[in-house]
A and B are shown apart, each in its own frame.
Chain A
Amino acid sequence: MSDASTPTNGNGPKSAYFLAHADEVTERRTLAVLVDNEPGVLARVVGLFSGRGYNIDSLTVAEVDASQHRSRITIVTQGTPHILEQIEAQLLRIVPVADVIDITNSKTGIERELALVKVAGTGEKRVEALRIAEIFRAHVIDTTNESFIFEVTGASEKLTQFVDLMRPLGLVEVSRTGVLSIKRGKEKG
């Protein structure tokens, strides 16, 4: 999912009358949004981003606590510090949103992504693909005489790097989960 929103200028607060903080630099931020798993909650969160013109670079969602009906949405977004502050505040306004955690700024945040990568080829290219997969600690989860499907996990940049290396070796298609995140240590949230 590259961009679920309308284009933004990404350089300041929204105002009909000029932008006051045009000098602020755009940052990338990973947010964990804990929500009540009720109908339409994902639409509320995604709709907020499109409605207010914020970016979504990646989005992952699943229920994480069935007894409490709690789901965790991980969103990778971009914006100036001012916009990012607004995004957090606006998310917290949504009635079923319980908490918003800034993983990027927490310093103890860990981000991981999983990709399934299909590569087809024969001969030297097939051997090279397997060799690179080993370096990236990718697992082969399906194989035919002419193809592999690799499962690779890690930081998003690592996955992108792996996919780039596979491209000349017969890359067919890629499926990625989007970023997941959690904090280090024994504390929750």
Chain B
Amino acid sequence: MTAKTKAKPAPAQDAAPRLMSGAQIVVEALREQGVTVMFGYPGGAVLPIYDALFGQDAIRHILVRHEQGAGHAAEGYARSTGQCGVALVTSGPGATNMVTPITDALMDSIPMVVITGQVPTHLIGTDAFQECDTTGITRSCAKHNYLVTDVNQLARIMHEAFYVATSGRPGPVVIDIPKDIQFATGLYVGKDGITKPTYMPQRKPNMDAIRIAADLMTKAWRPVFYTGGGVINSGPRASAKLRELQELTGFPVTSTLMGLGAFPASHPDWLGMLGMHGSYEANHAMHDCDLMICVGARFDDRVTGRVDAFSPKSKKIHIDIDASSINKIVRVDVPIVADCAEALDALITEIKALKRKMPDLTPWQGQIDTWRARRCFDYKNSKDVIKPQYAVERLHALTRDRNTYITTEVGQHQMWAAQFYHFEEPNRWMTSGGLGTMGYGLPAAVGVQAAHPDALVIDIAGEASIQMMMQELSTAVQHNLPVKVFILNNEWMGMVRQWQELLHGERYSHSYSESLPDFVMLAKALGGHGIRCDKPGELDARIIEMIDHPGPVLFDCRVERAENCLPMIPSGSAHNQMILGEITGNEIGEAGRKLV
């Protein structure tokens, strides 16, 4: 190839074929894809790419403290903007540290492009220093992955990766680039005209299915919308269409953990989240409905509870862009493979065209009000000790009128956040739903804050989860990302403790958070601001102090230690068998104990 003899790559031009180094191709492709922020950590096998990033200002690079943090930050960025998150890490340990965020993004359908360095091509397979089989390791946890072996394919692969990551059911795509490819000179091609004939997601719904669905919807007496993360992933238009369709029909709406915010929590027809720690009214409405309209949700086991007792009397419509989600767990009557916004739009048009007098929903709404009257989220408040539910309620009350984004870690605090922090808009709620990754929240908050510098970004955390990615507070300090970490500190791995109480005879094996750091001192050591509060009377003032502090804050909120997260559908039970008041220890039968 004659191109290789050229000492200097040609300057960037828009028309003529452009020759540049592999590393410059990477940066140029990112720039053309509209990437303005990326997260990463350098190392031997990506030094040429870091060299290409040096001195350019089109892309802001956020240096993390651990590669896993880069992945979750990219996820947080993606969820809060709807754009593709980008992470850049080195070979070997850099790549293996990315496996958790890649899997997390796959489970929650988050668009993400991960660039990993690889040892030079001629060393692949020799157990070279910091070599690992990145494409082999990530094959089952990424939506797709590439090992680049020809620099002239690099630009196409970069653009194709963005297309695959962001289209259809979004997901993580890994590009593994050997170091010699980064140095080699090759041809840059633009993103226009990039296609992948074997990969063409179906966006438009089948109109026959839409007509059947519209017919069922205009005849239903006890309907319910069961919405999920797909509505968020589809973009703001899908949330708008969901609201429009709800207004047209008056049907009650519940949502999965991932879908919170697509429908406003202040709406009178909002039932709250459903599932294991969902509301009594949402789960009962799901169980007793005669028509379920599932929009962008996947009948996860946290949602369905016992499958053979799941919503036994209903017809089910399922809108999903991923055909494999349909009939995977629960048999549905009307499958609609399509983008949520397109399908909802088609349903609106069809229902309007029918001009049918719809059944009177008053009896159904009355029934729902009866369930609502059980007030399933009530808890006994205290004047002496901060109840975790109260802490989240106050946090919500004091931040609801601001431009706020919430991330969480995983555990009890996550469920309390979902129950007591009420979302009005999509893309405001970032949580690890499918994989349940402790340590997700702080780096995700870093990513959200990088995307929205002026917003209030709060990670609602637990004292156990936060220690898994604690070091990323240092990242926030370095890059002036004033994230707030609100730790509900009960000195227990709360959800583990709760399950041990429920299932294992109160034998609390290794679930006590011993030797906890002094979070206030820790915040100071990392360059942030620390706040501690253990009195309900002082909570509001302390939260306001946190909000008003211009830099990153670690808030050690000491809460009731033994509080259980309720209501709860015990594993192996149906939607109408919720635990409401207190755990007695006899809720779960032998079969249920073996489940997760």
Chain A min CB distance to B503 (Å): 15
- Residues of chain B contacted by A92 (CB below 8 angstroms): 323-324
Q: Do A15 and B135 form a contact, CB below 8 Å, given A36-B198, A93-B324, A97-B198?
A: no
Chain A min CB distance to B148 (Å): 11
For residue B402, CB closer than 8 A to chain A, the reply is no
Query: Which one of A14, A17, A48, A89 contacts B323 once the chains associate, using CB atoms below 8 Å?
Result: A89
- Residues of chain B contacted by A124 (CB below 8 angstroms): none
- Report Cα–Cα, A92/B327, bound state, in Å: 15
B322 and A93 contacting across the interface, CB-CB below 8 Å: yes
Digit string of B139-169 for contact with A (CB within 8 Å is 1, else 0)? 1100111010100000000000000100000
Q: Do A95 and B308 form a contact, CB below 8 Å, given A16-B301, A17-B595, A35-B198?
A: no
Identify the interface centre among A14, A40, A51, A93: most chain B CB within 10 Å of its CB: A93
17 contacts between A and B (CB under 8 A): A13-B307, A17-B301, A17-B571, A18-B306, A20-B331, A35-B198, A36-B198, A39-B149, A40-B136, A40-B139, A40-B145, A47-B139, A47-B140, A51-B140, A82-B327, A90-B324, A95-B198
For residue B305, CB closer than 8 A to chain A, the reply is yes
- Report Cα–Cα, A16/B304, bound state, in Å: 10
For residue B197, CB closer than 8 A to chain A, the reply is yes
Chain A min CB distance to B339 (Å): 16
Chain A min CB distance to B482 (Å): 39
B328 and A44 contacting across the interface, CB-CB below 8 Å: no
- Residues of chain B contacted by A39 (CB below 8 angstroms): 147, 149
For residue B596, CB closer than 8 A to chain A, the reply is yes
Q: Which residue of B lies closest to A15 (CB)?
A: B307
- Residues of chain B contacted by A108 (CB below 8 angstroms): none
For residue B196, CB closer than 8 A to chain A, the reply is yes
Known: A15-B304, A36-B198, A39-B147. 4 other contacts (CB 8 A): A14-B329, A16-B301, A89-B323, A98-B198
- Residues of chain B contacted by A97 (CB below 8 angstroms): 198
For residue A43, CB closer than 8 A to chain B, the reply is yes
Chain A min CB distance to B176 (Å): 11
- Residues of chain B contacted by A51 (CB below 8 angstroms): 140
Chain A min CB distance to B221 (Å): 25
Interface size on A, as a range, is: 20 to 34
For residue A160, CB closer than 8 A to chain B, the reply is no
Chain A min CB distance to B22 (Å): 18
B572 and A95 contacting across the interface, CB-CB below 8 Å: no
Digit string of B568-596 for contact with A (CB within 8 Å is 1, else 0)? 00011000000000000000000000011
Query: Which one of A20, A47, A96 contacts B330 once the chains associate, using CB atoms below 8 Å?
Result: A20
B328 and A86 contacting across the interface, CB-CB below 8 Å: yes
Chain B min CB distance to A160 (Å): 33
For residue B199, CB closer than 8 A to chain A, the reply is yes
- Residues of chain B contacted by A64 (CB below 8 angstroms): none
Digit string of A5-17 for contact with B (CB within 8 Å is 1, else 0)? 0000000011111
A89 and B324 contacting across the interface, CB-CB below 8 Å: yes
Digit string of B298-342 for contact with A (CB within 8 Å is 1, else 0)? 000100111110000000000000111011111100000000000
A15 and B198 contacting across the interface, CB-CB below 8 Å: no
Digit string of B91-126 for contact with A (CB within 8 Å is 1, else 0)? 000000000000000000000000000000000000
Q: Which residue of B lies closest to A98 (CB)?
A: B198
Chain A min CB distance to B77 (Å): 23
Digit string of A126-143 for contact with B (CB within 8 Å is 1, else 0)? 000000000000000000
A15 and B139 contacting across the interface, CB-CB below 8 Å: no
For residue A157, CB closer than 8 A to chain B, the reply is no
Q: Which residue of A lies closest to B160 (CB)?
A: A95
- Residues of chain B contacted by A187 (CB below 8 angstroms): none
B307 and A17 contacting across the interface, CB-CB below 8 Å: yes
A96 and B135 contacting across the interface, CB-CB below 8 Å: no
Q: Which residue of A lies closest to B143 (CB)?
A: A95
- Residues of chain A contacted by B301 (CB below 8 angstroms): 15-17
- Residues of chain A contacted by B324 (CB below 8 angstroms): 86, 89-90, 92-93
Digit string of B243-272 for contact with A (CB within 8 Å is 1, else 0)? 000000000000000000000000000000
- Report Cα–Cα, A32/B196, bound state, in Å: 20
Q: Which residue of B lies closest to A44 (CB)?
A: B139
For residue A174, CB closer than 8 A to chain B, the reply is no
- Of all A-B residue pairs in the complex, the 9 with the closest CB atoms, nearest first, are A89-B324, A16-B301, A98-B198, A95-B144, A95-B199, A17-B306, A20-B307, A15-B307, A89-B323
